[in-house]
A and B are shown apart, each in its own frame.
Chain A
């Protein structure tokens, strides 16, 4: 599978038909699906029809868009009009959205083709893609291991060569962590740069659509297409003029100051991850950057903060899945509405989702707001302040993406708290609303990929992607290889 920018160039200039590209992508999806279970739906007919429409435009001399013929895999919590969107849940098993998410509208207007809806942890809740009502997804580097989550299927799609680009969502690390586990790039934009309209909400003040890819140029290309103010999303940044491709041109790290976070870069990480950090520091120095140390004193409280704020918002966002109109209904009408709601929700929302809804309900409940949710929002500000202070001294902040590489299926699922603690590096960017990217950093234990994370101040996304491209340039072919999975 070629990169997106290569595909677009070939299709636009007539060297290859969109149909051929999409057929290849669909074939690859079929080939990997049985073993990796990365996809919930593969809308073959719609994808081929879209490809044909692009070829027709080209034949007529019309502009097919800058992403003409590029296959895109979309996490199944992003609404695609006319294509089933389940959020990985039984509750939305039969939900076919009558509208597109804004990011999908924009991608399709630019000629991209949605080839699959990717598996995920239900409603975005999880870090391993083991919480899906449609079965777990598996890591193409080692199919006995998790691909990460919640955007597991999206990451697998890119690392197994089904598509050059996948969309995920990132609430506490759900794009960056699976990217690290799969050896690819996972980028979470500044909160508000990508519209959330049509993105099934988990935690409204933390969610952001993210991009998984193997090339900084591909990320820049799709961000220029997708980013920008959306009148349907009151939290999207008003005068946002994306300048990603233009910013790639000056990829030079001379004089750039990067701070490695003390609290997150020592104990608690595996040897393999620490070695990756070390390699990254050396590379950055060779490229002319100055690497120092920075303290984020409240970073260790990130998990507690995140796991109070996110479930609280989720408990309200998921209240609508009640079996009444479009969500799956369990129970006879004769039982009455309250009873049917309880049965439907109990039966169609998975265990992790139920756990978080109860946590969130508790954190908000009368008498506990100040102690839990209200308190967490104050610590959130402390964390944001720490980062602001760090950015007054440094251009970027560096941490591992996760303390370990991908673990075996079933290894962590019995202890929810253990799973939550893996998010320690990634939640900070969501809490503060800033930009973050996980960059492939070679292999850790047992030949599994790992990643390091760069954080940038809010609205400095273009600079972050430019940093990414400098690292990419320096590492060449070894930067983000496809997994060896054959299928």
Chain B
């Protein structure tokens, strides 16, 4: 009976070459500690920040894609707080004039989720805390990496909605090339704010949950919190404002700290960085170079005849969508067939191998060829499925079929011969089928087996039916 009220705060690691305020590499994954630093990101005395043009442009592109209003002038502010991984003990962020405000994303259930603001800031480094030691170890490689922070209005009403929202944000970020946006690599981080209330009542006290490493964790932690808070309120208790962490192993939230006074960040305009005038010309140029957004892809896939369910999955998965678009360049006869393969066997393969599509050697041309071979009855659907793993590793279907003689058997005399031999070897089965024609599949199976899967099932079926006069 309690209804949840959910808001999200999302950080996306931007996909630029260099950091936000210096020319060190933006991505230092796998590098030795403190090997990707300079006076600026180390916060050495005398160092000064400089603004990465590409980061601002990407942030503007992202704001526009989220339907935000973009200001005429945007500027940086210093956000002052002492933080172990932050060498300046302030963050260069945005306060009064962020790159985007008052945007929204529509969910598939029609709900419109408001986006309060979108802004740019620098990331901090990271600390490691060796067990039982009285010290910590700091690596500033990530300090200064460019981030987009986006904050939603408390418009979400369901953990499933929250998950869909995150997937949409990820899809948009990936489609635009703004961020790789994968939580597993830390490129997308989400904190949630959640409270519950009786319908019609004002918002309840909210808690913040952090340390969520995946979309699933977001959903689970919300489900957990909603239950927990509802139970407390039902028992007549009250919710205290707090910051909670999510224990993945125990699947529950834990108290990190109670909410003290709101932190006093003492924002003031960043004196080291002149403000940025945005202007119509720049916005037009950005719009012109913005890649196709997932919603437009969805519309396009539906128009091409792909079912809603499949189209949604494909449009909002950047790798699948890009791959699908390439395949469609070579094979446009049956888009749904391509969708079936991508969402079916290929996704099955990727899940089993725990690999993303782009790390396999499957080429769009190969899949297109495969589909054509099926259409022309050159191979059966079953054979196609059998050879898929090899195609995923880069094999060419035409070559493979030729080498192994996998072509479908369609020649009527060959099929006659196969049927003759199977009928001869299975007299009881023949009797059973003559008595009950619905059992014909058993005989069909035998013929397919005898042909090593190469016979065309439709032709066999009709030949069998004719032969047995059923």
Contact = CB atoms under 8 A, between A and B. Distances in A.
Establish whether A and B are touching in the complex (CB under 8 Å).
yes
Interface of A: 78-79, 85, 87, 92, 95, 97-99, 101, 196-201, 203-205, 231-235, 312-313, 315-316, 319-320, 322, 324-326, 332-334, 337-338, 341, 361, 364-366, 369, 373
A341 B81 CA distance: 13
B271 A204 contact: yes
B44 A232 contact: no
A200 B51 CA distance: 20
Contacts of B138: 324-325
A313 B271 contact: yes
A95 B48 contact: no
B272 A316 contact: no
A315 B264 CA distance: 14
Contact of A95 (B45, B135, B136, B272): B45
8 contacts: A79-B46, A99-B44, A201-B45, A232-B50, A234-B49, A325-B138, A361-B266, A364-B267
Nearest to B262: A366
Contacts of A319: 80, 82, 88-90
B274 A234 contact: yes
Nearest to A231: B50
Q: Assign chain B's interface to a size class.
A: 20 to 34
Contacts of A369: 266-268
Contacts of A326: 44
Contacts of B78: 316
B39 interface: yes
B204 interface: no
A235 B272 contact: yes
A132 B178 CA distance: 49
A364 B51 CA distance: 25
Interface string B43-59: 11111111100000000
Contacts of A204: 271-272
Contacts of A99: 39, 44
Given A316-B78, A334-B134, A366-B266, A197 B271 contact: no
Please list the 7 inter-chain residue pairs (A to B) with the smallest Cβ-Cβ separation, ordered nearest first. Answer: A319-B89, A364-B266, A205-B271, A204-B271, A198-B46, A200-B45, A366-B264
A97 B268 CA distance: 28
B344 interface: no
B13 to A, nearest CB: 23
B273 interface: yes
B381 interface: no
B276 to A, nearest CB: 11
Contact of B134 (A78, A234, A333): A333
Nearest to B43: A320
B42 interface: yes
B268 A333 contact: no
Contacts of A341: 82
B49 to A, nearest CB: 7
B266 A200 contact: no
A325 B50 contact: no
A86 B22 CA distance: 24
A197 B45 contact: no
Interface in B255-269: 264, 266-268
Given A320-B89, A365-B266, A232 B48 contact: yes
A168 B39 CA distance: 22
B136 A337 contact: yes
Nearest to A362: B266
Contact of B44 (A97, A196, A203): A97
A200 B268 contact: no
Nearest to B261: A366
Interface string B235-270: 000000000000000000000000000001011100
A354 to B, nearest CB: 16
- Which residue, of A197, A231, A369, has the highest number of chain B Cβ atoms within 10 A? A197
A234 B272 CA distance: 7
Contact of A320 (B51, B87, B267, B274): B87
A313 B264 CA distance: 16
A312 B77 CA distance: 13
Given A205-B271, A320-B89, A337-B136, A97 B51 contact: no
A94 to B, nearest CB: 12
Nearest to B265: A366
A472 B50 CA distance: 40
B202 to A, nearest CB: 25
Contacts of A313: 268, 271
A133 B390 CA distance: 73
A322 B46 contact: no
Given A98-B44, A197-B48, 12 more contacts: A79-B44, A99-B44, A232-B48, A233-B50, A234-B272, A316-B266, A319-B82, A332-B134, A341-B82, A369-B266, A369-B268, A373-B268
Nearest to B133: A333
Contact of A98 (B39, B80, B84, B272): B39
B284 to A, nearest CB: 25
Contacts of A333: 134-135
Given A320-B87, A365-B266, A366-B266, A97 B271 contact: no
B134 A337 contact: no
